[in-house]
Amino acid sequence: MDNKAINKDYYDNVYSKTDIDTIVKNIKNFENYYKELTTYHIDWVGFYKNNFHKNVKNKKILELGCGNGTNSAILAKLGAEVYANDISQFSEIIIKKLNEKLTFDKNINPISGDFLDANLESNMFDMVVGKAFVHHLTHAEEDLFMQKIINILKPKGVVRFFEPAVNSRILDEIRWLIPVPGRPSKLQINKFKNWKKNDHHPERDNSTSSYSKIGKKYFKEFNISHIGTLERFSRLIPNGHFNLSFRKHAYSIEKYIPKYINMKFARAQVVDYRFPKK
């Protein structure tokens, strides 16, 4: 199976079990839910970094790798006209249900299947976004995606991606030694080999330098910032009130750490590309 088929297989299985009613309940409680996500959870704190929510109203936004549709629903609630794409056929099913059960100014437009096959007009979007998506593409796929993104973005269009960051080989090696739910330690040689064989992430470079190269190649401006230098230690604290409080304060304190240190040690990055080179 190629990388796309592996991802489709894996995420079809994940999203076929989606509890849509919980997503609906959360979005109906929008203010509290959005506040909780963007206070404690690294992917949401990162994705909405620098008051990104203020930029989306009335914008035409394509979300790539929209998954269970939560972020597309949030963007729609914030007033964007959202198009949501995912390789999993279940994303479209979920999004149609969200449109039925929730009230948006503009319903979310699902684009099912391979983005590269999607029939989209040139200069159509103000923004293309993705949360934990690009690192699921091989570099060859990423390049093809960017070519299409350049075409469908307006000349003043922007991109925001939230992605894991791997900028220190030593930290990365240590990370593989520590088992996490669903992934054994590298020291458990056979179990690890077996896990790796079935892993749906392609072998690729997730460094900031790799995203910078794409930024330079396809955009007139780009900026990459980092998050999770201190937050990563929350994994050593049992779940509960203290863990949440630690994370909240970690995000605030991290802002004062010099950029070059954050780049090396952060576990995630926020990639902003602006103004496509057409």
Ligand X SMILES: C[S@@+](CC[C@H](N)C(=O)[O-])C[C@H]1O[C@@H](n2cnc3c(N)ncnc32)[C@H](O)[C@@H]1O
Q: Which residues contact 63 (CB under 8 A, 6 or more apart)?
A: 71, 72, 75, 82, 83, 84, 85, 128, 129, 130, 131
Q: Is residue 115 involved in binding ligand X (CB under 6 A)?
A: yes
Q: What is the dihedral sign for C-alpha 206, 207, 210, 215?
A: positive
**Distances from the Cα of 266 to the Cαs of 37, 94, 102, 169, 259, in angstroms?**
19, 33, 36, 12, 10
Show the site string, 66-85: x = touches ligand X by CB under 6 A, - = not: xx---x-------------x
The radius of gyration computed from the CA coordinates of the chain, to the nearest angstrom, equals 19
Is the separation of the CB atoms in 62 and 86 below 8 Å? Answer: no
Give the interface segment with ligand X, choosing from 62-70, 183-191, 230-238, 250-258 (CB under 6 A). Answer: 62-70
The strand ranges marked E within 36-103 are: 60-64, 81-86
Selected from 131, 186, 204, 232, the binder of ligand X by CB under 6 A is 131
Measured from the CB of residue 135, what is the shortest distance to ligand X in angstroms?
A: 8
Measured from the CB of residue 187, what is the shortest distance to ligand X in angstroms?
A: 26
Give the footprint of ligand X on residues 248-277 (CB under 6 A).
Answer: none
Q: Is residue 247 involved in binding ligand X (CB under 6 A)?
A: no
Is the separation of the CB atoms in 222 and 271 below 8 Å? Answer: yes
Measured from the CB of residue 126, what is the shortest distance to ligand X in angstroms?
A: 19
Give the interface segment with ligand X, choosing from 60-68, 178-186, 247-255, 258-266 (CB under 6 A). Answer: 60-68
Q: Which residues contact 108 (CB under 8 A, 6 or more apart)?
A: 69, 72, 73, 76, 82, 83, 84, 95, 98, 99
Query: Residue 266: helix, strand or coil by DSSP?
Result: coil
Measured from the CB of residue 104, what is the shortest distance to ligand X in angstroms?
A: 18
Q: Is residue 88 involved in binding ligand X (CB under 6 A)?
A: yes
Give the interface segment with ligand X, choosing from 21-29, 121-129, 131-139, 261-269 (CB under 6 A). Answer: 131-139
Q: Is residue 65 involved in binding ligand X (CB under 6 A)?
A: yes
Amino acid at residue number 13: N
Measured from the CB of residue 11, what is the shortest distance to ligand X in angstroms?
A: 3
Q: Is residue 160 involved in binding ligand X (CB under 6 A)?
A: no
Selected from 45, 74, 84, 86, the binder of ligand X by CB under 6 A is 86
Rule CB under 6 A: which residues touch ligand X?
4, 7, 11, 43, 64-67, 71, 85-88, 115, 131-133, 136-137
